[in-house]
């Protein structure tokens, strides 16, 4: 049998369910990977080996395939290891929020909803994956802990804010990991680490639906090494009622499908279909738009690097070769977007529950700037920003909906070197983040689903002997996750990565 970390999450699930592996065996293997690799990668802020082994033993005791039992009915991820983002509470485990200001907080008494949902699915948490301070930056380099690094080049960052989750998956410390995405925080690190990251439609997931965040920006979603594993984790983040439907506690929601639909879409799409003239959902051709235009164009100096352009070209050629109808498009210019988004982002930061001047002073310059600036925004200006972005949302949804999907570069630049972002000038820092990842935040504003998938590796260097991962972002219509998973799986099958693991 291959080393367990070389198995996909789907394969591990099946081996666990058949009793050929136990939760304890899988947990021990991945904990050994974490112990060995985390000092160099910085993927975990906190590792909880004792709690992980207790959890694995409890799952084994309550039901395992080797004794003829079956995993719990809700346990689609029974015995599989993952990690909690260090912005989420797990009862009994400290939450650091990526900040020295919260480093000494006592452990939470209750787990957050996303943690409870994944526990009900049967996961084993190995600890807290690293995040930047309060999840605001697009990179994971907290001042008080080691940075999260892309395993493909340890001199470069893993992106953010789910940087630890993506780095852990890329290094084989986890088979998959949940993240959250308010402006690209799943897709950015997934792209920087050469794995798959999916931001679902606003309202699809009960936990982290986006409905309860200012402007509807923040949603939870999966990060994994393969498209099928991404779909598997997405399925588990959709708790089911007894009758099989999704338990949506909110009135706003995207279309959902029967249990297993997302995984089936990812797995079917990767199978050859000779003579069909394409492998879109159901074997049909997809109409795909391609663009390098961004909502930040004209506000900041946005340019697409040769490496990002090469990754886009490789992905587009592959989709065209599969029989899909591909055409260039340009998203309508929206000069009002950038100032409105900045106002909304700062407005969200203003609500961080820190009023003590001493605690506020311990925050990093970028975070302090966002919070202080947000608290100076008049209510009318914030309301106008929300109205402006609502109009932008309607416009972008209409533009994207002309196509089955729209493809952009995942990132405009290669993964950024550690320390590249300006640590003293927050205005410059914010601009750098937009220049690195100009294609992501507009989809949080519009509530559209999007998936990033690696398509290309740069030329090898001494620091990156396998090259750096670059990829594309595929944007879907509202509720279009099935199409995104199908197209991403086709690219994955057509463009295999050079190495399974860089470390």
Alpha helices in 322-449 (DSSP H): 337-350, 357-361, 365-374, 379-400, 426-436, 441-446
Tokens of 438: 């100009």
**Could you give the CA distance from residue 44 to residue 193 in angstroms, rounded to a whole number?**
15
The single residue of 111, 180, 185, 441 carrying the catalytic annotation is 185
Backbone dihedral angles phi then psi of residue 191, each to the nearest 5 degrees: -65, -45
**Could you give the CA distance from residue 263 to residue 485 in angstroms, rounded to a whole number?**
8
Number of neighbouring beta carbons within 10 Å of residue 249: 11
The single residue of 76, 85, 180, 199 carrying the catalytic annotation is 85
Q: Is 185 a catalytic residue?
A: yes
**Could you give the CA distance from residue 384 to residue 393 in angstroms, rounded to a whole number?**
14
Q: Is 111 a catalytic residue?
A: no
| Length of the chain counted residue by residue | 503
CB burial of residue 274 (10 Å; 0-12, 13-18, 19+) = exposed
Which long-range contacts does 390-395 make (Cβ < 8 Å, 24+ apart)? 392/295, 392/334, 392/336, 392/337, 392/340, 392/442, 392/445, 392/446, 393/445, 393/446, 393/447, 395/332, 395/334
**Could you give the CA distance from residue 290 to residue 293 in angstroms, rounded to a whole number?**
9
**Could you give the CA distance from residue 28 to residue 414 in angstroms, rounded to a whole number?**
34
The single residue of 161, 162, 294, 373 carrying the catalytic annotation is 161
Tell me the three state secondary structure of residue 397. helix
- Rounded to the nearest angstrom, the gap between the alpha carbon of residue 125 and the centroid of all alpha carbons in its chain is 17
Catalytic residue positions? 85, 161, 185
């Amino acid at each position: 049998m291959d080393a367990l970390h070389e198995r996909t999450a789907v394969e591990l699930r099946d081996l666990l369910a058949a009793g050929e592996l136990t939760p304890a065996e899988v947990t021990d293997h991945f904990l050994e990977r974490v112990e060995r690799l985390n000092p160099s990668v910085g993927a975990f802020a906190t590792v909880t080996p004792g709690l992980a082994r207790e959890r694995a033993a409890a799952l084994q005791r309550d039901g395992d395939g080797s004794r003829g039992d079956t995993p719990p009915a809700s346990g689609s991820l029974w015995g599989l290891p993952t990690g909690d983002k260090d912005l989420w509470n797990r009862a009994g485990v400290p939450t650091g929020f990526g900040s020295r200001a919260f480093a000494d907080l006592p452990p939470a008494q209750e787990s957050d909803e996303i943690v409870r949902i994944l526990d009900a699915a049967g996961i084993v948490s190995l600890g807290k994956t690293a995040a930047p301070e309060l999840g605001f930056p697009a990179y994971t380099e907290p001042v008080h802990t080691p940075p999260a690094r892309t395993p493909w080049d340890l001199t470069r960052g893993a992106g953010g804010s789910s940087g630890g989750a993506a780095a852990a998956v890329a290094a084989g410390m986890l088979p998959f990991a949940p993240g959250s995405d308010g402006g690209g925080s799943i897709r950015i690190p997934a792209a920087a680490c050469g794995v798959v990251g999916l931001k679902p439609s606003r309202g699809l997931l009960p936990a982290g639906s986006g409905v309860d965040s200012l402007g509807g920006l923040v949603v939870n979603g999966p990060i994994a090494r393969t498209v099928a594993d991404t779909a598997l984790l997405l399925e588990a983040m959709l708790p089911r009622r007894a009758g099989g439907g999704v338990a949506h506690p909110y009135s706003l929601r995207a279309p959902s499908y029967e249990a297993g639909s997302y995984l089936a879409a990812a797995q079917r799409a990767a199978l050859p279909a000779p003579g069909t003239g394409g492998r879109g959902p159901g074997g049909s051709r997809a109409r795909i738009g391609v663009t390098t235009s961004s909502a930040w164009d004209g506000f900041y100096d946005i340019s697409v690097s040769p490496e990002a352009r090469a990754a886009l070209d490789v992905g587009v050629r592959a989709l065209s070769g599969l029989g899909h109808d591909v055409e260039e498009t340009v998203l309508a210019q929206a000069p009002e977007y950038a100032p409105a988004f900045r106002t909304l982002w700062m407005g969200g930061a203003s609500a961080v529950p820190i009023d003590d001047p001493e605690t506020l002073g311990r925050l990093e310059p970028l975070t302090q700037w966002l919070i202080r600036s947000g608290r100076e925004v008049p209510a009318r200006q914030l309301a106008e920003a929300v109205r402006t972005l609502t109009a932008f949302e309607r416009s972008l949804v209409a533009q994207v909906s002309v196509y089955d999907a729209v493809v952009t570069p995942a990132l405009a630049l290669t993964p950024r070197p550690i320390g590249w972002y300006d640590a003293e000038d927050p205005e410059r820092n914010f601009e750098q983040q937009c220049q690195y990842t100009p294609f992501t935040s507009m989809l949080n504003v519009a509530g559209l689903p999007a998936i990033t998938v690696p398509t290309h590796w740069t030329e090898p260097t001494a620091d990156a002997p396998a090259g750096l991962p670059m990829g594309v972002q595929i944007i879907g219509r509202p509720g279009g996750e099935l199409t995104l998973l199908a197209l991403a799986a086709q690219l994955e099958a057509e463009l295999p990565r050079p190495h399974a693991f860089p470390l």
